[in-house]
A = this chain, B = another copy of it.
Amino acid sequence: MLATVIHAARDIRVEEVPDPELSGSGADAIVRVVAACVCGSDLWPYRGVTPTDAPHRIGHEFVGVVESVGADVEHVKTGDFVIAPFYVCDGTCVNCRNGVSTSCVQGSWWGGSDRSGGFADGGQGERVRVPLADGTLAVVPGPVGDDEIPGLLTLSDVMGTGHHAAVSAGVGPGDSVAVVGDGAVGLCAIIAAKRLGATTIIAMSRHADRQALAREFGATHIVEERGDEGVAAVQDLTGGIGADRVLECVGTKESMDQALRSARPGGMVGFVGVPNGGPELPVRQMFNRNVGVNGGVAPVRGYIDELMDDVRSGAIRPGRVFDLELPLSQAAEAYAGMDERRATKVLLRP
């Protein structure tokens, strides 16, 4: 089959790889990928920020149809349309039961070894062997229309991740919320904040096309300024004190600083941007103003069922973050387009 392989920085190839097969575990499934996409975090190896020592599969967001299942798989059936979160989980361990399936004791990641030593394909390919299929895959009931696919695909990562930022920050009815980052996750965080009842939603964005989408998703205000001016602009919109909740959806030192200082005393920062390079948090600044920080790698598997109905009904439209669709064979162009900011998020069709 064909699958995407990263060979080095800026060297993305779609090439022939072995077809996946069911392992002897009895717990896995083979999924034919209907749609996959490129994540902002895929750009770190693409840009060489994280090194690529040897060629490896890449991609961790996909939806598809189950082609076969192991003998012990109970909930997922051949022919089911499924959403895969960006990680593997069993759904039954104590951490999964606590809502932190990204810390599953049997968990693993796409494009690498699962806990039993088998290989789980990357998501940007024609097929994927899915370990722990009952825990990992969410089944979408009934027939799935082609126009539903972009929205459902966002539940594999970006919509659930934006939701996690909002949940972690404790967004509730009547809150003021500032969102740092206007990538796909930041835009989905706006959807999540509105869905949870926020009434003032400030998108910190400098790009006209993303500002427009932010407004469509529920942003009530746009702030283009950054640093001290950005903090002042958020304060001006929030009675002089800062936002009740701030959603940090980037992961740099600058974005976290912007988030912490944009929160009001007693406010909370929900953070989901992968910390890039390890800036640490200024504990004294947090202490003096009672600004908390909560979040992390988003346990999106647990959010899929909650969000799926709103996606299918059209109540929320996260699929709008895809502004380019390409065949899988053009994966290299998908990376280049996102890297050069010609596209917010690219959908790939095998």
A271-283 contact mask (Cβ, 8 Å, vs B): 1 or 0: 1001100111111
Question: Contact at B290–A292, with CB atoms within 8 Å?
Answer: no
- Nearest to A168 among chain B residues (CB) is B292
Name the B residues within 8 Å of A168 (CB-CB).
Answer: 290, 292
Question: Given the interface contacts A290-B102, A297-B290, A299-B290, does A281 sit within 8 Å of B281 by beta carbon?
Answer: yes
State how many angstroms separate the Cβ of A240 from the closest Cβ of chain B: 8
CB-contacts of A261-294 with B (<8 A): 264-266, 268, 271, 274-275, 278-284, 286-294
Instruction: Among B100, B266, B274, point to the contact of A100 (Cβ < 8 A).
Output: B266
A38 at the interface (CB under 8 A from B): no
Interface band, chain A? 35 or more
- 7 more contacts with CB within 8 A, not counting A100-B264, A278-B283, A292-B294, are A95-B265, A98-B241, A98-B265, A100-B290, A168-B292, A271-B283, A280-B281
CB-based closest 8 A-B pairs: A292-B294, A280-B280, A103-B265, A100-B266, A290-B296, A281-B281, A287-B296, A100-B265
- Residues of A with Cβ closer than 8 Å to B? 94-95, 98-100, 102-103, 168, 239-241, 256, 264-266, 268, 271, 274-275, 278-284, 286-297, 299
29 pairs of residues in contact across A and B, judged by CB atoms under 8 Å = A98-B241, A98-B264, A98-B265, A99-B266, A100-B264, A100-B290, A102-B290, A103-B265, A103-B266, A103-B289, A268-B294, A271-B283, A275-B283, A278-B283, A279-B283, A280-B280, A280-B283, A281-B283, A287-B297, A288-B297, A289-B296, A290-B295, A290-B296, A290-B299, A291-B296, A292-B292, A292-B294, A292-B295, A294-B294
